[in-house]
Amino acid sequence: MKPVIGIAACGSADNRQFVTEAYIEAVSRTGGIPLILPILDDAALLTDYLQICDGFLFCGGEDITPLLFGEELLTDRGSTDLFADRFHLALMQTVLHAKRPVLAICRGMQIMNLALGGSIYQDLSLRPSPTLQHMQISGSRKDPCHKITVSQNSMLSDFLGTYANVNSFHHQCLHFIPPQIRPVATASDGVVEAIEIPGHPFALGVQWHPEVLLSLDPGMEKLFSTLTERAGSCLFPGSAG
């Protein structure tokens, strides 16, 4: 049986929880069974999610509530959802502790950083140095926005090489990065664009949106195919174990 990839619901609107179709299609295209995981206020379900999923995908979404990383609100940009934030943080901590394969995209990468004790800038304007425009305005989400430089001897460099052009749809970014996490890609302004967790079977976070770039760059597809491969090769109690 194909590995089951649990996709944490991106958020909610009009009493409906949702996941953007591109994430579902990316998992399916690369050999996984996509399973949407609802946002619920029940800690016991986190263990249940581990039982039924072989790997996990965290998506983009709203801003993260500043109080969760020890700050008060400093800007009027973006909206937050404390209920979703708490669920995503708890699920990420559970997944990382269990060493399950996980790919975290945009907000998901920020959740990964926070889950291990890191912090984020509430807005790029709060960084002490000049910053690129990271919230692109273009005709297509597939359009490139800026270049990233990838660290040598990183897992990401195996997929993308030393440089890549990426799209960009964020106004927050990583600030303090805990020692368990290795930054592995940056934009020209120093903003961290990707992170990995050394010693973990597969824990990768990227700030851009590779789910819409699969048809344009084989390296972007490799992010998802490696997630499903690692999920399928590990003997978990889930469907592929």
Euclidean distance between CA atoms 125 and 121, whole angstroms? 9
Query: Which residue out of 134, 209, 229, 234 is catalytically annotated?
Result: 209
Query: Which residue out of 53, 59, 106, 234 is catalytically annotated?
Result: 106
Euclidean distance between CA atoms 80 and 97, whole angstroms? 26
Euclidean distance between CA atoms 86 and 63, whole angstroms? 12
- Whose tokens are 């953007």? That residue is 20
Spatial neighbors of 44 by CB under 8 A, at least 6 apart, are none
Structure-token pair, residue 189: 């302004």
Q: Note whether 104 and 60 are within 8 A (CB).
A: no
In 3D space, the residue among 170, 80, 78, 171 whose CA is nearest the CA of residue 123 turns out to be 171
Per the annotation, the verdict on 209 as an active-site residue is yes
For 96-136, give the DSSP string.
HHTT--EEEETHHHHHHHHHTT--EESSGGGSSS-----B-
Query: Which residue out of 59, 145, 170, 211 is catalytically annotated?
Result: 211
List active site positions. 106, 209, 211
